[in-house]
Structure 1
Amino acid sequence: MAATKVSLKLLIDKKSHRVLFAEADNKFVDFLFSILTLPVGTVTMLLQEEKMQAGCLHSLYESVDNLSDDIYFRPDQDKDFLLKPKVAISDARVPLLLPSVEQSYTARNFYRCVQVNTGSARYSNCGKYVANDWRAICPHCKSLMYTELKYVEYRPPRDIKASSSSEEGYVKGVITYMVMDDLEVKPMSAISAITLLSKFNVMDLGAVEEKVVDFGTDKGVKLLKACLQSKTVLTDVFLTAETTITGESVKKKSVLVKRRRVV
Structure 2
Amino acid sequence: MASQKMSLKLLVDKKAKRVVFAEVPKEFVDFLFHIFSLPLGTLIEFMSKDEVEDTMELDKKKINRGYVKEVVTYMVMDDLVVKPMSTISSITLINKFGVKDLSQLEEKTVSFGKDEGLKLLMASLKTDKVLTTVFMQ
Fold similarity call, TM over 0.5: yes
Which residue identity is paired with 1:24?
V
8 Å CA contact 1:46, 1:99 repeated in 2: no
Partner of 1:92 in structure 2? none
- Alignment partner for residue 102 of structure 2, among 186, 195, 205? 205
Matches within 5 A, 1:52-71: none
Partner residue, 1:38: 38
Match of 1:227 in 2: 124
**Residue deviations 1:73-130, cap 9 Å, x none?**
xxxxxxxxxxxxxxxxxxxxxxxx91336xxxxxxxxxxxxxxxxxxxxxxxxxxxxx
- State the Cα deviation string for residues 157-214 of structure 1 (Å, max 9, x = none): xxxxxxxxx7431111100111000000011111111111111110111110101111
Which segments of 5 or more consecutive residues in structure 2 lack a partner in the other structure? 56-62
| CA RMSD between the two structures | 1.8
**What is residue 181 of structure 1 aligned with on the other side?**
78
C-alpha contact 2:53 2:113 (8 A) present in aligned 1: no
Segments of 5+ residues of structure 1 without an aligned counterpart are 51-96, 102-165, 241-263
RCO (CA 8 Å, sep 6+): is it higher in 1 or 2? 2
Residue of structure 1 in register with 2:23 after alignment = 23
Q: Which structure 2 residues correspond to residues 22-171 of structure 1 after superposition, within 5 A?
A: 22-49=22-49, 98-100=52-54, 167-171=64-68
Q: Distance in 1 between matches of 2:29 and 2:134?
A: 16
Which residue pairs with 2:133 in the alignment? 236
> Aligned residues: percent identity?
55
Distance 1:173 1:181 in 2: 22
Larger radius of gyration: 1
Q: Is the 8 A contact 1:19 1:181 kept in 2?
A: yes
Measured after TM superposition, the shift of residue 37 of structure 1 is 2.7
Give 1:7 shift: 1.1
TM-score normalised by the chain length of structure 1: 0.46
Q: Which amino acid aligns with 2:54?
A: S
Structure 1 residue 38: Cα displacement: 1.9
Equivalent AA in structure 2 for residue 233 of structure 1: V
Q: Which runs of 4+ in 1 moved over 4 A?
A: none
